[in-house]
Structure 1
Amino acid sequence: MNNKVIFILSGIGVAIGLTAAYFSGVEKKPLPPVFNPAPNPYAQGIFANGMVESLQNSGENINIYPEVTGVVSQILVTEGQAVSKGTPLLTLDDSVQKATTLQLKAQADAALVMLEELKHQPRKEVLEVSKAQMLVAKANLLSAQVQLDKQKMSFALNPQSVSRDTLDNQLNAVKVAEANFQLAARQYELTKAGAWHYDIETQQKQYQIQYQNYMAANALLEKYTLKARSDGVILAISAAVGSYLSPQGVYGSYTQDMHPVLVMGSVADQLAVRCYIDEILVPKLPATAKMQAKMFIRGTNTSVPLAFVRIQPYISPKIQLSNQKTERVDVRVLPILFRIEKPADLNVYPGQLVDVYVGEK
């Protein structure tokens, strides 16, 4: 009985093993791809990674950094908004700089008032006082001289009528009165002549210094408002009200590095693709007159023809587009810029990664 059970169980085990071996040997059909890989549309096409960006006459997107440090007090634009050159984009708290500017302006105004005062000397009232002082001194001199003449005449008639000491004192009084008159006369002439030209020139320099200090402070005050330096579209805003900004930009909480405060591009319907050709493939590039390219949108079967714009004639180290600060490989690339002939129903945005094939017409 036991042998029979063992035989049956052995047969079942063999059948299970054969069945498992059969099914494991059957080749499984691969799942169909979600989208077809980008095909090479050219006979000798060169593949390149590309990134969509706004079309610029030179350079790339416009990264805006503040020239001063401060806390964001107001954001005046939104992402995707078209702006013209000179449009205020963002303001920083400028209370301290504004107070400093007003103080320097007050100092410059005070220096200007003092300069005008020197230029308009002599003041009529001051000149009249100086003239009156001169006339008083002249009258005192005449009075002292009359007293001296009387005493001399009395002494000549009767030497006992006036003492020699009194006569000497009166003579000295005349000399003092004459000196006072000469001093008052010179003071009158000095007042009448007005301010010395050296004093005016010195005050002119002082005013210019104060005014330049004010202008410098006012220019610095204007930098607390970030403005658009060209026509374009706001692509990204990295700051928020209350964020602390420095000339290095704004600190990214997630990436833990510094970012530009705002990024601007050209008008929305002008897009370009910057593709990077490996240096070993550069000799195989066709002439620019014959160069054409096609862009493939990742994750779709959509392709878009590209129009050649220019070559950036500088081969630089290749940086992985997904993380420009940390990923670098030992390959150098040549950037080539193409313009997108964008269909109306195509959703493409700056910063988007695409596959590019470069070929010959």
Structure 2
Amino acid sequence: MIILKRLSIWMALLGLGFTTWVLMGAAKKEPMPTPVAEPPRSPYTESVAASGIIEAVNENVRIAPPVAGLITKVFVAVGEQITEQAPLFQLDDRDLRAQLLTREAAIPPIQAQIQEQQYRIGDLNTQLKRLKSVQDHRAVSDDEVQRTWYALEMAKRSLVRFQANLQEAIVRRDELHILLDRLLVRAPRAGTILQVNIRAGEYAMPGAAEPLLLLGDMQQLQVRADVDEVNAPLVAPRAAAVASLKSRGDTQFALSFVRIEPYVVPKKSLTGDNSERVDTRVLQIIYRFERPPFPVYAGQQVDVFIQRDQTAASPADAGPSAPRQPEAGP
């Protein structure tokens, strides 16, 4: 019994020591790992930090189809430089081409009717002149002259009607030409194809969440910086600014002020997803920059530092306003 009691005491002490060792190991803090790259730092004494995204100048163009339809051919590839009005993709136009054949076939018969009526008008006009030139009223009756004149007038009215029918047929034909040209989607401006999300044989729908093609001018890039609405009063127009790739302080490059978009908009987390989470409201500032020696791409996130306006007071510096003292009575 004594041995069992001593063994239980030693087991309790051993468990207590093991528990202490585990707790001490859990409380020990691991050293912070060395960062892979130097984090970005502001070159200014006082600055406003913002998050930004690189985009093509004048923003990207999301190409959409004019109507729903089957895509029969895609003329461009990713990275291709295109000019204004260059063909991008073709929608199925077989139905319209079949209608075009019918409408084009209706034009020659009307033209033949017009030509025949013109010959008839010419004959009647010659006949009427010949009848009027006869001086002897016994040889040509007034009724014959009147009938010829009436036939000439009716022929002229028929010619006008046929010409109107021809004009309508031509307009109906040209309407199909316009609709056919509409199914060939062209580039609204020159630029670079950034994305191609369609293939021949797929069905295109207007208003799709993902653009069929994304077009941008990659010759000149710009940064769209999002400044928190609280810090918006601290930013002066044309203030100096720098940017660096996300969490890479060794990639800093200078920015040139373009404009401040005066409407404060909800900030998005820039994940690229359609259901991006709205964090707060931001003031957007557009900057241009020359291409740095390292590669940058449209859609890349950057850290932006804007030199703070020294004349503007920080919201934290303003403090609560003092209560208004009642005016002293007479």
**TM-score, L = length of structure 2:** 0.77
Match of 2:297 among 335, 349, 355: 349
Q: Which residue of 1 aligns with 2:192?
A: 233
1:165 matched residue in structure 2: none
- SS class of match (1:314): strand
Whole-angstrom CA distance in 2 between matches of 1:188 and 1:19: 127
Superposition pairs of residues 32-111 of structure 1, within 5 angstroms? 32-56=34-58, 60-111=59-110
Distance 2:34 2:264 in 1: 39
Q: How many residues align?
A: 298
Aligned match for 2:244, one of 282, 287, 296: 296
- State the one-letter code of the partner of 1:200: L
Distance 1:9 1:109, change over 3 A: same
Question: Contact 2:121/2:155 (CA < 8 Å) preserved in 1?
Answer: no
Aligned-residue RMSD, C-alpha = 3.3
Alignment of 1:128-207 (within 5 A): 193=152, 196-207=155-166
SS in 1 for 2:227: strand
Which structure has the greater CA radius of gyration?
1
SS in 1 for 2:174: helix
Change (3 A) 1:334 1:110: farther
- Say which of 222, 227, 243 aligns to 1:272: 222
2:287 corresponds to 1:338: yes
Q: Aligned partners of 1:331 and 1:355: how far apart in 2? A: 18
Query: In structure 1, how many angstroms separate the alpha carbons of the residues matched to 2:108 and 2:303?
Result: 64
- Give structure 1 regions of 4+ aligned residues with deviation exceeding 6 angstroms: 181-185
Task: Report the Cα offset of residue 183 of structure 1.
Answer: 7.3
How far apart are 1:282 and its partner, in Å? 1.5
> Could you give the per-residue CA deviations for residues 167-196 of structure 1, whole angstroms, max 9, x where no partner exists?
xxxxxxxxxxx9xx98777655656x4763
The 8 Å contact of residues 312 and 336 in structure 1, kept in 2 or not, is answered as: yes
Q: For residues 15-73 of structure 1, give each alpha carbon's deviation from its aligned partner in whole angstroms, at most 9, with x where no partner exists.
A: 545544544443321222333433233222222221111112xxx21111111221000
CA contact (8 A) 1:52 1:352 kept: yes
* Alpha-carbon separation, structure 1, partners of 2:75 and 2:177: 21
Aligned to 1:166: none
The Cα of 1:244 is off from its aligned counterpart by 0.9
CA distance in 2, matches of 1:265, 1:326: 23
Confirm or deny that 1:318 pairs with 2:267. yes
Q: 2:169 aligns with which of 202, 207, 210?
A: 210
Q: Deviations over 1:104-146 (max 9, x none)?
A: 223234333323332332476x999x99xx9xxxxxxxxxxxx
Question: TM-score if structure 1 supplies the norm length?
Answer: 0.71
Q: Secondary structure at the match of 2:169?
A: helix
Letter in 1 for 2:43: P
Cα distance between partner residues in 2 of 1:101 and 1:228: 25
